[in-house]
Amino acid sequence: CLPGTRSAILERIDNWIRGGKESKQVFSILGIAGRGKSTLASTVAYRWQDRAHCATFHFRRGQSELQKRLICALARQLGAHTASPVKHAILESIRENKDIAQGRLETQFQFLVGALKNLPHQTPIILIVDALDECEDVDYAVSFVRNIRQHAGLLPPQVKILLTYRPEAPLLRVLRRPEWEEESLDREGNMDESEIRLFMEYELSRIREDHDLPRDWPPQAVVQALVDRSQRLFQWSRIAVKYIADGSPKSRLDELLALPSTNDGLDGLYKPILSKAFEKLKKSQAKTRLLLDILGTLAVAAHPVSIDILTYLYSDHDGLHDQTENDRAHYLREEVLAGLSSLLSLPNSSDRYIRLGHTSLRDLLVSRDRCGKGSYHVDVDRYHWLLATKCFRVMLRDLRRNICHLSDLSKSNTEVQGAVSQYVPKGLQYSCRSWSIHLCVSSPQLIPQPETAKDGLADFEGLSKEKLLEWIEVMALIGEMKEARLIAKQTKLWLEQSSPDPRRIILATLWNDAYRFITEFQDPLSFGALHVYSSAISFCPRKTKLWEFYGSEAGIRFLHGEPRSEWSARLWSRSARSQVNSVAYSPDGKTIASGCEDGTVHLWDAETGLRVGKPLQGHTGAVNAVAFHPNSSQLSSGSTDGTIRLWDVQTGSGIGGALWPTLANVVLSTAFSPDGKTIVGAYSDNAIRLWDAKTHVPIGTPLEGHTNSVYAVSFSPDGKRIASGSRDCTIRLWDTLTGSPIGEPFSNQGHVNRIAFSPDGKKLAFSGFGPSVVILDADLDTGLAFDRKLGAHTGSISSIAFSPDGKKVASAGNNEDRTIRLWDLETGAVVGQVLKGPTEGIPALAFSPDGRTIVSGSVDGTIHLWDLGPGFLTQTPSREDTPDTISMAVAPGGERIATRSGEGTITLWDAETGIPVGALQETEKELVTRLSFSHNSRRLISYALLQGIRVWDLETGSPLGDPIETLPGIVRAIAWSPDDKIFACGYNNGTVCLWNSDTRSPIGKPLRGWKGGVTCLAFSSDGKRLASGSPEHILLWDVQTSSCAGELSLPDSDWPIVIAFSADNNGLSAELKGGASCTWDLTAMQSTGGPDLCRNLPKPYLSLELREQWLFYKGIRTLWLPSEYTAKDRIPVTLRGGVLFYFGHFNTTLDVSQTLPYLSIFGPPPPKTSDQGKVH
């Protein structure tokens, strides 16, 4: 604002900021278009920039996706303040919430409040949100305001929030708050003529000086005429003086004075300026068309655009296609847009964003009625379609595999942003982010140029069938995977709703595949873009359109084991890092909560599976139950520590103290009443307790009647009844109001662990430690009566849930069963697939509010979201697991691998082809824990606890005699002598035994250590000595005399995992569990600190560590595997030949040779033979 103008309101705002806790938290400024709201907001930020921490966000219509970054933009600005407590708080919060940019508005607001709420009461912090009415997602804007209303009170008093907006419903309903300061710029006298005149005089005086005009220019009567025409609209005045300054001042002033005096407000100024700009270009049809195209683009752009982006999109336009990049920018700025410089925000730099000067200008351009016969009308549908086709052509032209020329898969997307800036132009980025918005808003069938529409759809088809993976690659590089997922879903829906053309049906299927693909492989893609080829597409189901068009791009090929043929019902899978005991879906369907064995509660975005905020911590014992408040704002959790805690879902903060009865016991179940006023808890002391959800005070006395722990409680949908299930093998029904039992208890044959009411309250389902779901009639007067049983699992049922429509019941099995089944309540038949995925029991299950998905939590620490849509009903069942691989050994030369699974078979694998080449059949299906090849690879030792030791002849595939009966204890290590005539076994009790491999008879007496179990063994190269490692020491043994020849001490609290003699047998090294190594001179029996001899051991393979679906090599991330390949106790090994062996529920070998060049940590791979496997 010009000095001397808006003094009263600026002083009021200053006093409000300085008022601290004595003033209100929020100040709102409202007024119609042109009143100067944005100018006021900018002035406040300018006036306080040196006295406060300011963050400003301006909403702009037509930039809907940018608007969703409101909170992140405010946080980024606050975090830019050097060495301030604010910066420290923001950065600390970001470290704890690394995925915050992908979170929902509520989560982001929670993040901002959490970062600021504990700051000291010092320097003011001002959050300015301008033009809130221009947010195109009204629900988003309303939600933002409601978050302010709900949580502003948690902020310290120096945090102030300034909002500006037009007085438009529905925002007006939520913004008009008595507890907020408010200033209406539409009020009479708020912006009087004197302030408009002062502004005019000031700006005209600057024009007079710049152009060396007479001192009496312009006359006072002329100034007054301009003031009169402004109709007290500051925006009119600003544009008028800018228009005068951008040309010949005298002639332009005369043009404005010649305008008819109307009440059209800003339209009366916009129209003549627009008309003159187009009139000036009428001799060049190319320039006229380009000017209208640029206005159309600015009016409907999905994201901000710059001159550079515009010239990139319109590079094929007449007048631009034959010019250099710099010449294009100059041409567009000086020859096309110059006549509209007063109406546009046109920065000097071509890489900065250009926009329409005011929202009111866009309102005029897109209105046919207001434009009248003007040639500047923007047909919104047409320009969305035009921009969609521009985006298609840009992507078809410029997208390419590995666009940034990356060479290392272990580098994250954030680490390669320099290459992104170099190789991915902003125009291409705009196209990748925006095409679907333009496509899905436009209506090509209404466009008057049918050939254009036809060509555009052909380009879209080409993009879909040729460039889809490359589009995903770019979206990953620019950090837009969440947006890519939404684009795929939006595009699929658009295609399904358009004409039923066979080609469009194929495209709809393809984009549905893309949606599932991005959802399932979001983790690797968000980490590194090239994983779209190295990992993701390689595991794409084979009977999909995506694999049909892009299977040849796969960087990994299956050598053994079958890839999936169709998408599974599982939408996503996440690790909670601890056993999941309970899950709950929020009633609004946005959030999933999980309670874990480690005492934490986690919140997850139901759509993406991304973690919402950090874990909720407060319990000191396992969390057995979680339940949402009916309005989704709160969550209750019950724990073995005996407490029920309440949490604010938005902020993640605890609400009040813990609900804790005087008696110490365990909370086994908890639930909210339908009205949210009461919480019920089931306890291990046989009681049921009710709590006031607001005051946290107990309601009445405990409900008593059970004679053992109460495992489950549930409110009826009307809240009048409570059902409880107990370890005493009964289910009881209680009157909520009186606490009295209803009818007699229903007796079951076993413990009752889960109960659930049907949505109409007439049925009650329960499960116990048995294989069936039992349905009861639940009558308010007579109590419970048996109705029917539903099917049977192969083991006990650990969780149940009713579908929201009451027609189905879902049940989940324990460790023996590990499946989820859906039952038709009327027929009792299984509906759709039997869902498999978790590797252990499933104690937690919940339906989404719309009944389309089920969330499950497992003992293995995973949470899965399952789709119950049409595919669930029609897909083929999941393939059967192969038994887990328990142990594995690699031949010394690396040519063969032996594995032993739980079904009693030892499998031999060819390490070059990845194909099984033989099997050694055990007589007993016993757990084999050790396998060891002889040095010449002709024999193999297998060890099982009960069966003992077997020696196998690998040439005949038969065992040499009967199993060897071993000593008491468990074999932990096996080693062969250099000539393979002797093998040694080390036991967990510290004993070592030597055996003749031909006769399988013991050699000498057992060698007995005295400090812990044996962890590793090694023979000297002459076979005369044996070293055995155990915690705290290494012992040396004389093989011939069976006597101890020395002791080597180890560091405290560490033990050897590998030991090796030097070539002359005078030195010994040990690699320790903690990562260190030790070396000794055996002649002096002293530590030397010399080189690690273990590093020189022949290693025909590289061991990879599996952590949360990623394979790591020496701590460096390499390849990603889908969740079905990443259960516990699996052993991944990659050989130098480029074959990855992965043994688990699905024994799989993979050809990764095409990917190895992008894993520089392995070095260059050997040449690949032409027949080394084929794509399945």
CATH number of 598-612+626-737: 2.130.10.10
CATH fold of the domain at 7-191: Rossmann fold (3.40.50)
User: Which of the residue ranges 262-276, 320-334, 441-455, 1102-1116 would you say has the lowest mean pLDDT?
Assistant: 441-455
What letter represents residue 1130's amino acid? R
Question: What CA–CA distances, in Å, run from 757 to 677, 738, 775, 827, 831?
Answer: 19, 20, 10, 19, 20
Rounded to an integer, what distance in angstroms lies between the CA atom of residue 60 and that of residue 345?
Answer: 12
Write down the pLDDT at residue 1175.
Answer: 36
Whole-number pLDDT of residue 445: 54
Candidates 136, 115, 139, 142; CA nearest to 127 is: 115
321 vs 1144: which has the higher pLDDT: 321
Residue 45 has pLDDT above 80, yes or no: yes
In degrees and rounded to multiples of 5, residue 752 shows phi and psi of: -110, 120
For residue 447, what pLDDT is reported? 45
Q: How far is CA 463 from the centre of its chain?
A: 26
Radius of gyration of the chain (CA): 36
Residues in contact with 280: Cβ distance below 8 Å, sequence separation at least 6, in sequence order: 339
Q: Which residues contact 496 (CB under 8 A, 6 or more apart)?
A: 508
Domain residue spans of the chain: 7-191, 194-356, 380-555, 598-612+626-737, 885-1100, 1102-1162
pLDDT value for 143: 86
Segment 173-186 mean pLDDT? 79
Residue 209 in this model has a pLDDT that exceeds 60? yes
- Interval 253-260 mean pLDDT: 87
Alpha carbon of residue 224 to chain centroid: 59
Q: Lowest-confidence range among 4-8, 664-668, 729-733, 870-874?
A: 870-874
Q: How far apart are CA 991 and CA 1008, in angstroms?
A: 4
CA angle 152, 154, 156 (to 5 degrees): 90
pLDDT tens figures, 811-832: 999 988 899 999 999 999 999 9
Q: Is the pLDDT of residue 1169 over 70?
A: no
Tell me the CA distances in angstroms from 471 to 478, 511, 521, 536, 571, one per residue in order: 11, 12, 15, 14, 22
Q: Are 959 and 974 in contact (CB under 8 A)?
A: no
Which helix (H) or strand (E) segment holds residue 391: the answer is helix 380-398
Q: For residue 170, is the peptide bond before it cis, meaning its omega torsion is within 30 degrees of 0?
A: yes
Provide the pLDDT confidence category of residue 263 given band limits of 50, 70 and 90: low
Output the CA torsion sign for 910, 913, 918, 924. positive
Cα end-to-end distance, the chain, whole Å: 69
Using DSSP, state whether 1171 is helix, strand or coil: coil
Strands 159-165 and 125-130: parallel
| Partners of residue 897 on adjacent β-strands | 890, 909
Is residue 173 exposed (0-12), middle (13-18) or buried (19+ Cβ within 10 Å)? exposed
CA quadruple 1037, 1040, 1041, 1042: dihedral positive or negative? positive
pLDDT reported for residue 825:
93
* 890 DSSP β-pair partners: 897
Contact assessment for residue 543 and residue 566, using Cβ atoms and an 8 Å cutoff: yes
Q: What is the pLDDT of residues 739-790, one digit of tens each?
A: 999 999 999 988 999 999 999 999 999 998 789 999 999 987 889 999 899 9
CA distance linking residue 916 with residue 937, whole number of Å: 16
Is the CB of residue 160 less than 8 Å from the CB of residue 17? yes
More confident residue, 153 or 493: 493
User: Can you tell me the distance from the alpha carbon of 248 to that of 231, in angstroms, rounded to the nearest whole number?
Assistant: 25
Report pLDDT for 1090: 75
Q: What does the pLDDT look like over 962-1003, one tens digit per residue?
A: 888 777 889 999 999 999 999 999 999 899 999 999 999 999
Contacts of 816 (CB under 8 A, 6+ apart): 794, 795, 796, 841
Residue with tokens 């399988």: 1000
The one-letter amino acid at 376: Y
* DSSP assigned state of 749: S
- Residue 1108 reports pLDDT greater than 70: yes
Confidence of residue 636 (pLDDT cuts 50, 70, 90): very high
pLDDT in tens, 516-556: 999 999 989 999 999 999 989 999 999 999 999 999 999 99
* Residue 1127 in tokens: 């259960």
pLDDT band for position 616 (cuts 50, 70, 90): very high
DSSP 8-state code for residue 741: B
Q: What per-residue string of b and e applies to 91-118 under the rule 16 or more CB within 10 Å gives b?
A: eebbeebeebbbbbbbbbbbbbbbbbbe
Place of tokens 């006769």: 999
Mean pLDDT of 471-500: 93
How far, rounded to the nearest angstrom, does the alpha carbon of residue 1099 sit from its chain's CA centroid? 38
- Give the range among 396-410, 828-842, 902-916 with minimum mean pLDDT: 902-916
pLDDT at 375 over 70: yes
The DSSP-derived string for 909-934 is EETTT--EEEEEE-SS---EEEEEE-
> How are beta strands 53-58 and 125-130 bridged, if at all?
parallel
Cα–Cα distance measured from residue 767 to residue 1060, given in angstroms and rounded to the nearest whole number:
56
Query: Percentage of the chain surpassing pLDDT 90?
Result: 51
Q: Which helix (H) or strand (E) holds 1077?
A: strand 1077-1081
CA distance 191 to 235: 12
Instruction: Give 1079's strand partners.
Output: 1069
Please report the pLDDT score of residue 1171 as a whole number.
Answer: 35
Q: Buried b vs exposed e over 897-935: b needs ≥16 C-beta within 10 Å?
A: bbbbbeebebbbbbbbbbeeeeebebeeebebebbbbbe
Per-residue model confidence (pLDDT) at position 135: 86
Q: Is 513 exposed, middle or buried (0-12, 13-18, 19+ CB in 10 A)?
A: buried
Specify the pLDDT at position 393. 96
The per-residue pLDDT for range 878-934, each reduced to its tens digit, is 544 455 566 788 888 888 888 886 666 788 988 888 889 988 876 566 666 789 999
- Whole-number Å distance between alpha carbons of 508 and 485: 14
Give the distance, in angstroms, between the CA of residue 73 and the centroid of all CA atoms in the same chain: 20
The average confidence (pLDDT) of the chain is 87
pLDDT for 948: 86
- Residue 592: what are its φ and ψ, rounded to 5°? -115, 135
- Is 50 exceeded by the pLDDT of residue 195? yes
Residue 1130 has pLDDT above 80, yes or no: no
Superfamily classification of domain 885-1100: YVTN repeat-like/Quinoprotein amine dehydrogenase (2.130.10.10)
CA 919 to chain CA centroid, Å, is 43
Same fold, 7-191 and 598-612+626-737: no
Q: What's the length of the chain?
A: 1176
pLDDT tens digits, 549-561: 999 999 999 988 8
What pLDDT was estimated at residue 497? 86
Residue 732 backbone phi and psi in degrees, to 5 = -125, 155
